[in-house]
Amino acid sequence: MTWFFSDVARFKAEREALESFGLTHSWFVFDGWRYDDRMRLVLDADIVVGGKTWPIYLQFPQFYPDAPPSVFPRGDDSRWSYHQYGAGGELCLEYGADNWTLDLTGVDVIESVYRLLQGESPAPGETRTVASRHSESLGRRLRSKTFRFLRTRADTAFLADMTEGEYRTGAAVYCFHKDAIVFAVRSLNGAAEWINPDVPGQLEDEYYKRNFVALRLGEKTALPPTSSPSAFREAAGLAQDAGPVVLVFQGQASHAFYLTADSVIEAFVIPAQMEARRTDAVFDGLKDRKVGLVGCGSLGSKIGAIMTRAGVGKWLLVDDDLLLPDNFVRNELDWRDAGSHKASALARRMEYINPEIDTNVWLTELGAQTASESAEAIMLLLGECDLIIDATANHSALNIISAVAKVKEKPVVWAEVFGGGIGGLMVRYRPGLEPLPPLMRRAIENWFRDQSAPPVRNARSYESGAAGDVPLIANDADVSAVAAHTARFAIDLLARPASSFPHSAYAIGLGVGSVFTEPFDTRPIEVGQPPAEQPPQLLSEAETKAELTRLIEYFQRKPDEVGVAPPNNQAPAT
C-alpha cells in the first residue's frame, strides 16, 4: 500500500509542516498537492531567490519515508544548476539516496533547494560556489562511452620513455560487445617485436586485430583535428595509411582515436590500474523464479553463475563497476569482458550458460550518491523479485535492500568474504521469521564482539575499483567456497517450502583466525526473533477522515503544467 495511505499520520505531519512553512517563509510559495501519473504524491510550489521565481515540484517516492523525495523544475526544461541531473532534470541536493535518514522531512529538502539556488545566485559583484557532493565513479563516466581504450601496466611502462615527436607502430586487438568496443595494445614494433604480456594471445584468434600507432606530442601542442582522417594524420605527421588505431600522449595524459574511412572517433581511455597485492555456488520450479542480485563482482558473479546453472530463470542485475584486469584473480568473468560493466558482462556469461534466461541489467551502485528517482526505480524492481541477494559487502546497499524487504515482504540473502582467506559469512532473512537485516547485522557484530574475535574486513566494498583502495586478500577458492554456500542457501530458500538449514546466519571457516580454530569450522549465529511491531500512531476518526478526504480530493484536481524530467542517465543497460 502506498505510504500516505498506510501511514496517514506521517502524511499529516508532512502536509502540515510544509503548509505551515509556506506561511512563515516568504521565499517559499505553497501552490498545492496532487498525484502524478504513477500515483506518487506531489507538492507544487515556487521558490523566490534574488528577485527570480523558480517553479518546482516536490515528488514523494512510493517508498517514502525510507527513500528521499525528489525535486524537479516545474514546466521548465532549461538547466538551473551545475548540481542537476541534466537540463530540466532532478536537482542534486544535500540529501539523496546515499545519506537520507528517517528523521529528515520534506521541509529539509525544500530548505536544501533554497540554499542551492541562493548559493548559485550571488548578488552583483559577488562570486559564490556551492560545494558538490558528487563522487563520480569510473563506471558512471563510461555509461555512455561506446569506444574505450584499455591501458595496461605493461604497455604504460613500455611506452613511458617516448620522446616528443616520436611515434611507434604495432597492433591493437579489439572486442565487440553489446554496449562497447574495447581496444588494447597487443604488440609494438622495434628492433624486436614487443608483445604485451597483459593481453592474452588468444584474443587475436577470437576477436579483431588492427594496425596501431603511438604518438607523443608536446604538452602545448594542440591535439590533431578530428574533422577528417586525412586532416588528423596530416596534423599528427603520420602517413595517410597509418592507423587506424592511434594513441596520442601529451604530458601525463593520453588520448585514443579510431580512424574510419571518413571519420575520427575519440575513445575513452581507461587508465592502467595501480599494482596491488590481491591473492594469500535444482529444481524445475526455479526457472520461473526471479532473483535480484545486487553486486556483480567476484562473489556476486559466482553466485549468479551457480544459480543460473541450478535453473533460476529470471534475473535483475545491479552494479555500476567496471571489470578490470586485476579482478580476474577471483571473478567468474575474464579478459573477453575487460572494460565492460560487470553487470552487463555477467548477464552475457549467464546467457552463455542458459540462453533461455531473462536478464534485466541496471548500471548503478545501490547505496551510492545517485538521483532519488533512479534509486526508487531500482527499489521497485527489486520489490518484484522472489529473492534479493546482496553481494556488495556494503552496509548502505543492505539498508536500502532492507527497506524493500520490509515494504514488499521479500526474503533476502547476503554474504561477505573475510580477508586473509579465513572464511566468510552468509545470512538469510525471511519476512516474519527473522529480524530485519540491519537488526540481524547488529546481532552478528555483537556475536563476534562477545568472542573478542572480529573478522578481517576492508573499510569499504572490496570490489571497488577506485584508485588507492586496499584490495581484499582472498583467492578464488576462498570466494568460490563462500559463493557456493551462499548459492545453496539461496536455492534452498527459493525451492523448498521448509528450509533444510536450521539457522539463519553462519560464519564459515576456511582457515584459522577470528572465531575459527581450523578449516571448515562452521559456526551458526543466533540472531533472535523479530521485534514486536510498534503500534502505529493513531489519529482520531475525525482526523483520519479529514486526511483521507484531502487525499481523495487530489484525484479531482487538474495538475499544473509540469515539465517531464529527462532520464538521469541511470537507466537500465540495453
Mean pLDDT (whole number) for 107-124:
85
Does 381 reside within a domain?
yes
Q: What is the pLDDT of residue 203?
A: 77
Query: What does the pLDDT look like over 186-245, one tens digit per residue?
Result: 999 988 899 998 888 777 777 888 999 999 998 888 899 999 999 999 998 888 888 899
Instruction: Mark whether 435 and 291 lie in a shared domain.
Output: yes
Q: Tell me the C-alpha distance between 442 and 445, whole Å.
A: 5
Cis link prior to 65 (omega < 30° from 0)?
A: yes
* Residue at a domain's end among 98, 119, 140: 119
Question: For residue 475, is pLDDT > 60?
Answer: yes
What CATH number is associated with residue 72? 3.10.110.10
* Residue at a domain's end among 241, 270, 299: 270
What CATH number is associated with residue 421? 3.40.50.720
Instruction: Mark whether 392 and 477 lie in a shared domain.
Output: yes
DSSP string, 300-342: HHHHHHHHHHHT--EEEEE--PBP-GGGGGS-S--GGGTTSBH
Instruction: Mark whether 384 and 258 lie in a shared domain.
Output: no
* Window from 124-138, 159-173, 308-322 with minimum mean pLDDT: 124-138
Does 356 reside within a domain?
yes
Q: Tell me the C-alpha distance between 487 and 490, whole Å.
A: 5
* Positive/negative CA dihedral, 328, 333, 337, 339: negative
Residues of the chain with pLDDT > 70: what percent? 89
Does 194 reside within a domain?
yes
Does 228 reside within a domain?
yes
C-alpha cell at 572: 537500465
3-state SS track over 32-85: EEEECCCCCEEEEEEEEECCEEEEEEEECCCCCCCCCCEEEECCCCCCCCCCEC
* Window from 239-248, 449-458, 459-468, 529-538 with minimum mean pLDDT: 459-468
Instruction: Mark whether 412 and 317 lie in a shared domain.
Output: yes
Q: Can you tell me which residue has the cell 509556506?
A: 22
* DSSP state at residue 284: G
Say whether pTM exceeds 0.85.
no
Question: For residue 411, is pLDDT > 90?
Answer: yes
Instruction: Mark whether 88 and 211 lie in a shared domain.
Output: no
Mean pLDDT (whole number) for 273-277:
78
Instruction: Mark whether 306 and 254 lie in a shared domain.
Output: no
Does 134 reside within a domain?
no
Query: What does the pLDDT look like over 517-538, one tens digit per residue?
Result: 999 999 999 998 888 777 778 8
What's the domain range around 456? 284-524
* Residue at a domain's end among 270, 304, 328: 270
Instruction: Mark whether 9 and 59 lie in a shared domain.
Output: yes
Instruction: Mark whether 391 and 307 lie in a shared domain.
Output: yes
Does 541 reside within a domain?
no
Does 537 reside within a domain?
no
* Window from 19-33, 175-189, 275-289, 516-530 with minimum mean pLDDT: 275-289
Q: What is the pLDDT of residue 277?
A: 64
Question: For residue 110, is pLDDT > 90?
Answer: yes
Instruction: Mark whether 288 and 266 lie in a shared domain.
Output: no
Does 532 reside within a domain?
no
Instruction: Mark whether 91 and 192 lie in a shared domain.
Output: no
Instruction: Mark whether 266 and 293 lie in a shared domain.
Output: no
**What total number of domains does the chain contain?**
3
Instruction: Mark whether 47 and 107 lie in a shared domain.
Output: yes
